[in-house]
Amino acid sequence: MKPDLSAVPPLHHNLATRAVVGDALTRTAAMFGDRTAVIDASGQVTYRELGRASDALARALLAGGLDRQQPVAMVTLNSWRMLAGYFACAKAALVAVPVNVALTPADIAWILRDAGATVVIVDHALAGLLGEFLTDPPAGLRLVVIGDDPEAALPGRGAESFDVLAAGEPGAPEVLIDDRDIVQCLYTSGTTANPKGVLTAHVSVLIGAMTNAMQIGHRWGADPSVLLDVLPLFHTTGLNTLVLPVLLTGGTVVVHAGFDPAAVLDAIERHAVTHVMFLPMMYRALIAARGDAGPLPGVRTAVYAMAAMPTDLLAQVAVLFPSAAVILGSGQTEVVPATVLQWPEHQHTKPGSWGPAVPTVATAVLGPDDAPVAPEASGEIAYRGPHVMAGYWNAPEANAAAFAGGWFHSGDIGHLDHEHVVWFTDRLKDVIKTGGENVSSVDVESVVAAAPGVAECTIVGIADDRWGEAVCAVVVPADPAAADTLPDQVLAHARAHLAGFQVPKKVLVVDELPKTATGKVRKHLVRDRLTGT
């Protein structure tokens, strides 16, 4: 059965029925116009102000001649203006392309060219990152600068002011946007290879945001959440997991451009923050900075991600945030995170797990034939559902591999238990095959990270004539003065807690580990340094 819509203009039907990201902000702004939406280094804006700015910018982008589904790149720091730019794209049927500003100018130029960007929104302070891209700019390039004096930021380029455009004609443009139109293209972190553009549809982002809101406890009404975000908004965790669920339910987002323990602790108290998410190393830094100042009982949810936390650190986090559910969230750019999320009780019953899938994601573990295996059997973790990306940009072979068998292949190895809880073993590319045994680098990392004197660590396999691959621990000392004795301490601890084939054959002490902007260790760079490639 289908309705007869011959007498209904297509745009009218689309406006009345669609599920798109920009409309969600419009609804929130109508309901909570005077409520503070975002607090950043420049001040704060209400929902009405955020909505008006994104409306005007959307109109300005379309007036510049962009067609629907064309990209708008954003080379920006965390700010309300970056979010206004994102929502402007969503309202104009354009594709937002936030770019990792921790990359080199050459890498940024590669992404901008790969995306085919002819409009770039850039922070004044980051204009220098466009240097390589501007050596051979595309025809008709339009540059929009956040900050004072666009001409000073990009001399002779005809750059426009973000604030002038955002103060233009009010009212959201009425354009046809399909639920399955692309709203964002986020490039992967490139921990193992060149980054790929991940294209995600409006409906995927919207369902992911609302699912996160439900799971994390954001409330529509008179008791809004206040979330502190220190993770970059060019990454799916900061943008999709943390910030959008709050903005689509009427809460307040406090965004910081980076992580400073003292500033974070001050913000939590000053703004009565209810929700936080940090990496394990950030929690450790907060605990050290807090000292004897006492707990922060106002926080009701404390999420961590990217890496497991040692038991002792989890206990300290529980003391710092005594009223909070402390939970691990997991996901990836290709499947709007969180895809699996611990329930609070899992911290006690299944602390080493990732937790079960969220309600809007189906999770399976696949065998070599791309068919689901039985509970407890190991294989590749895979997903189905509206969270899954539409596909990679300019990568047909990668798409064929990603969707083989009708599941999205995550590249993660693990198993499901009999209660459908996901247990992660390792990244497929990071499993170490040594002496005929498969070693999970994650299992070894969890032990080495708890060794006395270790601040951070990673585990990689390196080619070895005897073992095929040798397990190698690369560690950062908590006390640089004790670096000489650290390898022996690590090995002694490993031998006491690991099987013989899992114990590292080599321990290398370094000052720091190469990481992505979101804290993931770039293991391919670690391997390259160890092998001299």
Helices 21-31 and 202-216 pack at an angle, to 10 degrees, of: 50
pLDDT of residue 388: 97
Which residue would you say has higher pLDDT here, 467 or 299? 299
Residues near 531 by beta carbon (within 8 Å), at least 6 away in sequence: 462, 463
347: number of CA atoms within 13 Å, CB side? Answer: 21
* Cα dihedral across residues 260, 304, 335, 352: positive or negative: positive
Query: Residue 416 has which token pair?
Result: 């499901």
pLDDT of residue 153: 96
Tell me the pLDDT tens digit for each residue of 292-345.
999 999 999 999 986 667 788 889 999 999 999 998 888 899 999 999 998 888
pLDDT-derived band at 193 (thresholds 50, 70, 90) equals low
Question: Given a cut of 60, is residue 533 above it in pLDDT?
Answer: no
Is the distance from CB of 208 to CB of 183 less than 8 angstroms?
Answer: no
Question: Given a cut of 80, is residue 516 above it in pLDDT?
Answer: no
Question: Given a cut of 70, is residue 497 above it in pLDDT?
Answer: yes
Candidate from 102-106, 206-210, 460-464 with smallest mean pLDDT:
460-464
pLDDT-derived band at 528 (thresholds 50, 70, 90) equals confident
Report d(CA 356, CA 283) in Å as an integer: 24
Q: How far apart are the first and last CA of the chain?
A: 62
Report d(CA 18, CA 27) in Å as an integer: 13
pLDDT of residue 343: 87
Question: Given a cut of 90, is residue 226 above it in pLDDT?
Answer: yes
pTM, entire model? 0.86
pLDDT of residue 60: 97
Strands 379-384 and 301-304: unpaired
Phi, psi of 493 (to 5 degrees): -65, -40
**Helix spans in 185-227 (H):** 202-216
Tell me the pLDDT tens digit for each residue of 149-167.
999 999 999 999 999 999 9
Question: Given a cut of 90, is residue 526 above it in pLDDT?
Answer: no
Query: Residue 444 has which token pair?
Result: 């070894």
pLDDT of residue 190: 55
Widest distance between CA atoms in the chain: 80
Is the distance from CB of 404 to CB of 363 less than 8 angstroms?
Answer: no
Report d(CA 272, CA 108) in Å as an integer: 37
Tell me the pLDDT tens digit for each residue of 84-125.
999 999 999 999 999 999 888 999 999 999 999 999 999 999
pLDDT-derived band at 40 (thresholds 50, 70, 90) equals very high
pLDDT-derived band at 527 (thresholds 50, 70, 90) equals confident
Question: Quick one: residue 65, left, alpha or beta (phi over 0 = left, psi -120 to 50 = alpha)?
Answer: left
Dihedral (Cα; 447, 451, 455, 458), 10-degree rounding: -40
Query: Residue 459 has which token pair?
Result: 């585990």
Report d(CA 403, CA 370) in Å as an integer: 10
pLDDT of residue 320: 97
Question: Given a cut of 90, is residue 426 above it in pLDDT?
Answer: no
Per-residue pLDDT, averaged over 227-242, amounts to 96
Percent of the chain with pLDDT over 70: 97
Question: Given a cut of 90, is residue 525 above it in pLDDT?
Answer: no
What are the chain's domains? 10-177 (3.40.50.980), 205-352+361-427 (3.40.50.12780), 431-531 (3.30.300.30)
pLDDT of residue 308: 64
